[in-house]
Amino acid sequence: MPEALPEPVLTARAMREADRRTIEELGLPGRVLMETAGRGAADVAARMLGTVAGRTVVCLCGRGNNGGDGFVLARVLHARGARVHVVTLADVSAMSDDAAANYRLLEQLAAADASGRLHLHRLDALVGLDHLPPADLYVDALLGTGLSSPLRSPIRELVQWLNERAAPVLAIDIPTGLDSDTGEVLGAAVAATRTVTMGALKVGLLLGEGPRLCGAIDVIEIGIPRHVLEQVARQPGCAWRATDALIRQWLPRRAHDAHKYSAGMALVVAGSREFTGAPVMAATAAARIGAGYVLCACPSDVRPILATKLTEVALLGLPETERGGIDQEDAFDVLDGWLERARALLVGPGLGRHPDTQRFVRALLERTQLPTVIDADGLNALVGFTDLIREHAQGRWILTPHTGEFRRLAGEVDLTRRIEVVQEYARAWGCVLLLKGMPSVVGWPDGTVWINATGNPALATAGTGDVLAGLCVGLVAQGLPPAQAAVCALHVGGAAADRYAAHYGTASMMALDLLAHLPVVLRERFDR
Ligand SMILES: NC(=O)C1=CN([C@@H]2O[C@H](COP(=O)(O)OP(=O)(O)OC[C@H]3O[C@@H](n4cnc5c(N)ncnc54)[C@H](O)[C@@H]3O)[C@@H](O)[C@H]2O)[C@@H](O)CC1
Ligand SMILES: Nc1ncnc2c1ncn2[C@@H]1O[C@H](COP(=O)(O)OP(=O)(O)O)[C@@H](O)[C@H]1O
Ligand SMILES: [K+]
22 CA → ligand 3 middle, Å = 22
Q: Which residue's CA is minimally distant from atom 14 of ligand 2?
A: 465
Q: Which residue's CA is minimally distant from atom 15 of ligand 1?
A: 146
**Hey, which of 436, 452, 467, 514 would you mutate to test ligand 2's pocket, going by the most ligand atoms within 8 Å of its Cβ?**
436
Which pLDDT score is estimated for 472? 98
Residue 182 Cα to chain centre, angstroms: 13
Proportion of the chain above pLDDT 90, given as a percent: 94
- Domain 7-241: CATH superfamily, name plus number: YjeF N-terminal domain (3.40.50.10260)
Ligand 2 atom having least distance to the Cα of 437: 27
Of 381, 299, 293, 391, which Cα lies nearest the Cα of 343? 293
Which pLDDT score is estimated for 2? 76
Of 120, 132, 121, 203, which Cα lies nearest the Cα of 161? 132
Q: Output the known binding site for (6S)-NADPHX.
A: 65-69, 144-150, 173, 278, 350, 402, 466
439 CA → ligand 2 middle, Å = 9
Ligand nearest to the CA of 144: 1
Query: Positive or negative CA dihedral for 366, 371, 377, 383?
Result: positive
Q: Output the known binding site for AMP.
A: 436-440, 465
Domain segments of the chain: what residues?
7-241, 256-443+454-480
Ligand nearest to the CA of 151: 1
Interface ipTM above 0.85: yes
Q: Which residues line ligand 2 (CB under 6 A)?
A: 402, 436-438, 440, 455-457, 459-460, 462-466, 468
Rounded Cα distance between 206 and 209, Å, is 8
Q: Which residue's CA is minimally distant from atom 19 of ligand 2?
A: 465
How crowded is residue 150: how many other Cβ atoms within 10 Å of its Cβ?
A: 13
CATH of 256-443+454-480, one of 2.40.128.640, 3.40.50.300, 3.40.1190.20, 3.20.20.70: 3.40.1190.20
Q: How far is CA 105 from CA 120, 176, 297, in A?
A: 12, 24, 72
Quick one: pLDDT band at residue 260, thresholds 50, 70, 90? Answer: confident
Q: How far is CA 6 from CA 81, 197, 444, in A?
A: 38, 17, 15
Which pLDDT score is estimated for 13? 97
Quick one: pLDDT band at residue 373, thresholds 50, 70, 90? Answer: very high
Which pLDDT score is estimated for 262? 84
CATH topology agreement for domains 7-241 and 256-443+454-480: no
Q: What is the mean pLDDT of residues 16-40?
A: 97
Look at residue 261 and tell me whether its pLDDT is greater than 90: no
Look at residue 6 and tell me whether its pLDDT is greater than 90: yes
Ligand nearest to the CA of 68: 1
pLDDT tens readout for residues 438-456: 999 999 999 999 999 999 9
pLDDT tens readout for residues 125-164: 677 888 899 999 999 999 999 998 999 989 999 999 999 9
Proportion of the chain above pLDDT 70, given as a percent: 100
Average of per-residue pLDDT values in the chain: 96
Ligand 1 atom having least distance to the Cα of 148: 26
Q: What is the mean pLDDT of residues 218-243?
A: 97
Rounded Cα distance between 186 and 183, Å, is 9
pLDDT tens readout for residues 399-441: 999 999 999 999 999 998 999 999 999 999 999 999 999 999 9
pLDDT tens readout for residues 52-72: 999 999 999 999 999 999 999
Q: What is the mean pLDDT of residues 260-277?
A: 93
471 CA → ligand 2 middle, Å = 14
Which pLDDT score is estimated for 239? 98
64 CA → ligand 3 middle, Å = 10
273 CA → ligand 1 middle, Å = 58
Look at residue 517 and tell me whether its pLDDT is greater than 80: yes
Phi-psi region of 199 (alpha: psi -120 to 50; beta: other; left: phi over 0): left
Of 206, 183, 250, 198, which Cα lies nearest the Cα of 229? 198
146 CA → ligand 1 middle, Å = 4
